Amino acid sequence: MSIGAINNNVSTASAVNTSPAVSEKAAETTASKETAKDSGVVYEKGSSTVNTSYVKQNQALIDKLKADADARVSQLKGIVEKMMTKQGAAIGQADDMWKFLASGKYTVSAEVKAQAQKDIAEDGYWGVAQTSDRILDFAKALSGNNPEKADELLEAFKKGFKQATGAWGKDLPDISKRTYDAVVEKFDKWKNGTEDKTSADVETE
């Protein structure tokens, strides 16, 4: 969930794991952000339809989402690069890291593994629900909460997901696919005005 509107959403995991769950985490969060960013997937707001006042009110949320994504990506890169170096893997192009994670041919400490599993749990920060919520919140904030932009933003998300799959080198793990389905469902509800208003509204100040 990078893409201008979705370019920095969900974009990173705070740890890696030897289990499929950790590979899922890395795929879902970091790969999608980096590949979308590198390939220049950008959502451009149309001045004629964007509620600029709404965007301004949510600038703090936008900045927070971007800063958090950047910090998480940096943290994950540090962990993976150290792991690759210790295990004799070469660090070349950016995609090398994702393919290394996708291979599953590495080991991590019990502490890192436990944290990664916590992060991608159903109620975790990088679980399906929270990640898909952040993607939708970011899209709303950048579009001025304009549901007419839902289809355009969703297409940008889908393009980024496809590029992330390419960076991963094979089909993304199940958690990534479930997050994809959750994002599509939430965008459809936003567009059709059928979402739960008690939990779906973006914060305003």
CA distance 127 to 14: 12
DSSP 8-state code for residue 170: S
- 3-state secondary structure at position 12: coil
DSSP state of 93: S
Asked if pLDDT for residue 7 goes beyond 50, the answer is no
Q: Which of 77-86, 106-115, 163-172, 196-205 has maximum average pLDDT?
A: 163-172
**Residue type for 85, please?**
T
Q: What is the pLDDT of residue 52?
A: 63
DSSP label at 27? I
Q: Please tell me the least confidently modeled range out of 53-57, 68-72, 103-107, 196-200.
A: 196-200
Q: What are the boundaries of each domain within the chain? A: 20-200
- pLDDT band, very low/low/confident/very high, at 36 (cuts 50, 70, 90): very low
Give the Cβ contact number of residue 88 at 10 Å: 6
Give the C-alpha separation, 168 to 99, whole Å: 5
pLDDT at residue 159 above 70?
yes
pLDDT beyond 90 at 185: yes
Pick the closest to residue 58 from 200, 205, 187, 201 (CA basis): 205
The residue among 88, 49, 62 whose CA lies nearest residue 8 is: 62
pLDDT level of residue 86 (50, 70, 90 thresholds) = confident
Find all residues with CB under 8 Å of 55, minimum gap 6, and list them: 45, 62, 141, 142, 144
**Mean pLDDT to the nearest integer, 151-161:** 95
The Cα–Cα gap between 98 and 71 comes to 17
- Where residue 10 falls among pLDDT bands split at 50, 70, 90? very low
14 pLDDT higher than 90? no
Residue type, position 94, single letter: A
Amino acid at 2: S
pLDDT for residue 156: 94
Tell me the whole-structure pTM to 2 decimals.
0.66
The stretch 54-74 carries a mean pLDDT of 80
